[in-house]
Amino acid sequence: MRIIGVMGAAGAGKSTFADIGKLYGWQTCSVSDGLRFLDADLCALSKQPEDRLNKEVLGYIFSTNLFYPTLKTDDFIDMWNANKHLYSQYQHIVHSNKRRKILQELGTYMREHYNPTIHVDGMIHWMKTRGGDDWIVSSVRYVNEIERLKSLGEYIPVIIERSNVEPLPLECQTHSSENEWKEWAKNNNSIVISGDSVYEFIRDTNDFFNLRGKV
């Protein structure tokens, strides 16, 4: 299996890089895919009357999540009870940075309470259900995620680096998910895709994939 692990600041173009990779035959996913699906479930729950959220209803909702096969219904219920305060005003949260903060807190809760590699493990489980040997993982953030992906085969680390990216609010900047990969990059070789114009970014991305050929 070949895996391109993509790192970079929020808004740098990680997803765009992955989308271009699809044109060359690569499949794409993100370590945060499972978390985002779970976030959508929790958002839906937050809009329901509390007295309707019995174990049967919660179990059905969470049974549709394909990324966390090791979690049981009681785990999801505990997670909901511990984090539902994040969603008390969710209907008013439309700005992406506010949602990012919720995802950061929910993701940290799961890493600390269940398994430090729960998100990358869930993504790998989903990848295996899809099949295929060539993948782009568009949001690698932690060292243990890198090590886990390396264990699957050839690992190609890529950093998307653009100077004209709008910085995140300070409360999001300081989270470990925005910084641990940077420390790893200081001491490890990576392929850097840069270019402050759209033309340069697309040109350099296409050059990267042309060197590796169509899958």
Query: Measured between alpha carbons, how far is 85 from 33 in angstroms, rounded to an integer?
Result: 22
Range of the domain at 141: 2-32+134-209
Mean pLDDT of all residues in 193-200: 85
- Among residues 113, 145, 178, which one ends one of the domains? 113
- Same domain for 41 and 95, yes or no, is yes
Task: Look up residue 153 and give its two tokens.
Answer: 């085969």
In a domain, residue 121? The reply is no
In this predicted structure, what is the pLDDT of residue 95? 53
**What rounded mean pLDDT belongs to the chain?**
87
- CA-wise closest residue to 88 among 31, 36, 47: 47
Q: Quick check: is 90 in a domain?
A: yes
Is residue 28 domain-shared with residue 38, that is, in the same domain? no
Considering the domain architecture, whether residues 191 and 179 belong to the same structural domain is answered as: yes
Instruction: Return all residues near 174 (Cβ < 8 A) that are at least 6 apart.
Output: none
The total domain count for the chain is 2
Q: Residue 151's pLDDT band (boundaries 50, 70, 90)?
A: very high
Q: Are residues 142 and 196 in the same domain?
A: yes
- Based on the fold, state whether residues 75 and 89 are members of the same structural domain: yes
Shared-domain flag, residues 163 and 151: yes
Least confident range from 21-25, 58-62, 190-194: namely 58-62
Assigned domain for 145 exists:
yes
What is the helix (H) or strand (E) element at residue 205, kind and residue range?
helix 198-212
Write down the H helix ranges in 131-179.
Answer: 143-150, 170-173
DSSP string, 172-204: HHTSGGGTHHHHHHHTS--EEEE-SSHHHHHHH
| Domain assignment of residue 92, yes or no | yes
Greater confidence (69 vs 171) lies with 69
Give the distance between the most distant pair of CA atoms in the chain: 57
User: What 8-state DSSP symbol labels residue 114?
Assistant: T
Res 49: pLDDT: 74
Q: Are residues 100 and 38 in the same domain?
A: yes
pLDDT of residue 26: 96
pLDDT, average across residues 184-197: 90
Q: Are residues 58 and 86 in the same domain?
A: yes
Q: In the predicted model, is pLDDT for residue 108 greater than 80?
A: yes
* Residue 196 binned pLDDT confidence (cut-offs 50, 70, 90): confident
Is 84 part of a structural domain of the chain? Answer: yes
Q: Classify residue 214: in a domain, yes or no.
A: no
Does 76 share its domain with 103? Answer: yes
User: CATH number, domain at 139?
Assistant: 3.40.50.300
Give percent above pLDDT 90 in the chain.
51
pLDDT digits (tens, 9 = 90+) for 135-149: 999 999 999 999 999
CA distances from 26 to 82, 91, 151, 205, 212 (A): 38, 36, 19, 13, 11
In this structure, are residues 138 and 12 in contact, taking their beta carbons and an 8 Å threshold? no
Q: Three-class SS of residue 160?
A: strand
Between 47-51, 92-96, 114-118, 158-162, the lowest mean confidence (pLDDT) is in: 92-96
Choosing from 55, 78, 113, the residue where a domain stops is 113
What is the average pLDDT across 98-109?
87
13 and 41, same domain (yes or no): no
Are both 82 and 143 inside the same structural domain?
Answer: no
Pairing of strands 2-8, 27-29: unpaired
pLDDT in tens, 44-85: 777 777 777 777 777 777 777 789 888 888 888 888 889 888
Report if residue 62 sits inside a domain.
Answer: yes
d(CA 204, CA 53) in angstroms, rounded, equals 50
Pair 20, 69 in one domain: no
